[in-house]
Amino acid sequence: MLNVGDIAPDFTAKAHTGEDVRLSSLSGKRVVLWFYPKADTPG
């Protein structure tokens, strides 16, 4: 479990474009992760 202020571990996630994005590739930038149920998406 992470606490406020903890450094996030590196991970890879799929972007809305279908490409894989690695957290470490965004170093120095602000990052927002948005999760939503697939059931609420068209298709």
| Contact call for residues 11 and 2 (beta carbons, < 8 A) | no
What local confidence, expressed as pLDDT, does residue 41 receive? 65
- 27 class by beta-carbon count within 10 Å (0-12 exposed, 13-18 middle, 19+ buried): exposed
Give the global pTM.
Answer: 0.63
The string of pLDDT tens digits covering residues 4-38 is: 999 889 999 988 899 999 999 999 999 888 877 77
